[in-house]
């Protein structure tokens, strides 16, 4: 039996002691913290909520609803597909640029994931209030 096989199941600090090394704080911290995985549906829900923080963005056909978001997570990267409406007469280009930057920043702050591509589909232009019909 080799030394590696004898020590394979020992915790990190015990393994360091067996190998004649002082325990290192860095190795213990990584083991104690473990790994955090954030599921794609959680990233999508978070992004949908965060999108409502951007002025002039709303869900399909209604500004007071959340946009539809799907997410793909690959390692430490998230990729988002957003379907939203924009309030008329706001600049679609400016609103979507603001949305893209806001999602990239806030998703990274809250999850630690870097956000790669964000595809945005504008499904509707919404007026603030429906116009009354004149007979």
pLDDT tens, residue by residue, 99-126: 999 999 999 999 999 999 999 999 999 9
Q: Specify the pTM.
A: 0.69
Domains of the chain: 3-33 (no CATH), 40-126 (3.30.70.1350)
Q: Are 120 and 82 in contact (CB under 8 A)?
A: yes
The backbone torsions φ and ψ at residue 71, rounded to the nearest 5 degrees and listed phi first, read: -135, 150
pLDDT tens, residue by residue, 30-75: 556 778 889 999 999 999 999 999 999 998 777 778 999 999 999 8
The number of C-alpha atoms within 13 Å of 127 and in the hemisphere containing its C-beta is 4
Sign of the alpha-carbon dihedral angle for 80, 83, 85, 89: positive
């Amino acid at each position: 039996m080799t030394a590696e096989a004898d020590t394979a199941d020992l915790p990190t600090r015990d393994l360091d002691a067996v190998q004649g090394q002082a325990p290192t704080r860095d190795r213990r911290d990584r083991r104690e913290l473990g790994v955090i995985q954030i599921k794609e549906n959680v990233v999508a829900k978070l992004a949908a909520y965060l999108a409502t923080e951007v002025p002039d963005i709303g869900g399909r056909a209604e500004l007071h609803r959340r946009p539809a978001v799907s997410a793909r997570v690959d390692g430490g990267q998230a990729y988002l597909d957003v379907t939203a409406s924009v309030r008329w007469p706001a600049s679609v280009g400016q609103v979507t640029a603001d949305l893209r930057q806001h999602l990239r920043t806030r998703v990274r702050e809250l999850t630690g994931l870097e956000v790669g591509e964000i595809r945005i589909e504008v499904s509707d232009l919404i007026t603030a209030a429906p116009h009354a019909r004149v007979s």
